Amino acid sequence: MVRRTKAEAEATRHQILDAAEREFLARGVAHTRLQDVATAAGVTRGAIYWHFADKAALFNAMMERACLPCEAADGCDEAGCGDPLAQLAAKAMRPLRALAENEQVQRAFRIAMHQTEYTDELAAVQARYIEGITEFQQELSEVLSRAESAGLLRDGLSLGTAALGLYALVDGLMHHWTLQPGGFDLVGCGEAAVKAYLDGLRTTVAARAVPAPAPPAHRSPPVRSI
């Protein structure tokens, strides 16, 4: 029996993970069999079991090597922007750009959001997703706090609520776009939506003057013929 080198074994492992990514995306995790992955990878089921204990282990390993969109923004430094709200806009756009520009991020996010039923065996991925978005919202809150200290936010604003709302805007765009990738310009729409949202938080935003409706013109009652 020919022994495989460590490099060959690692190459086979990645080959299996690549195939699992494709199959989970096409079929959904629950409906994908290990035999489907083996066939797509061009290996035997035994090769899969040599690397992974079961389908849950394969799924978890596939997700571990991928970066989810909000993780692309965690800890990012936008110090080059002078305005804290400009920093906030840049940070909010990072998940959208990561999703739009990286095909592996797209596949991982679509699988995690649309193709997975989170049973106990898959709970680690769901916990990781929740942790990622929690950290992302915390970073948004921290930048909002700097904007408040700089006097840039309108009075009475709840920073936690504002951060949650901004995250919900970003997350909603990502979910909608991944239902039909390419259906709209994710980055372009994101930039416009984030700007509109942040403009609503600024203390210096002038309210749009809405002209009062003109009073109805006075008309003399019609003269009736006698």
Contact 193, 169 (CB under 8 A): yes
Which residues contact residue 110 at a Cβ distance below 8 angstroms, ignoring those fewer than 6 apart? 25, 178, 181
> Which CATH number describes the domain made up of 69-199?
1.10.357.10
CATH number of 9-64: 1.10.10.60
Among the residue ranges 12-26, 40-54, 65-79, 89-103, the one predicted with the least confidence is 65-79
Determine the 3-state secondary structure of 204 from DSSP.
coil
**Would the pTM count as exceeding 0.85?**
no
Handedness of CA 115, 118, 121, 127 (dihedral sign): positive
Task: For 180-226, write each residue's pLDDT tens digit.
Answer: 888 999 999 999 999 999 999 998 543 333 344 455 454 444 434 33
- Which part of the chain has CATH 1.10.357.10? 69-199
Model confidence pLDDT, tens digit, residues 109-158: 999 999 998 888 888 888 988 999 999 999 999 999 999 999 999 999 99
CA distance 135 to 157: 21
Helix, strand, or coil (residue 177):
helix
Cβ neighbours of residue 29 under 8 Å, at least 6 residues apart?
A: 55, 59, 111, 115, 116, 117, 122
Bigger pLDDT: 94 vs 3: 94
> What pLDDT, on the 0 to 100 scale, is given for residue 136?
93
Q: How many CB atoms lie within 10 A of CB 70?
A: 25
What pLDDT score was predicted for residue 186? 96
- Region 169-181: mean pLDDT is 93
Which part of the chain has CATH 1.10.10.60?
A: 9-64
Confidence at 3, pLDDT banded by 50, 70, 90: low
What local confidence, expressed as pLDDT, does residue 121 receive? 86
- Rounded to an integer, the average pLDDT of 78-105 is 87
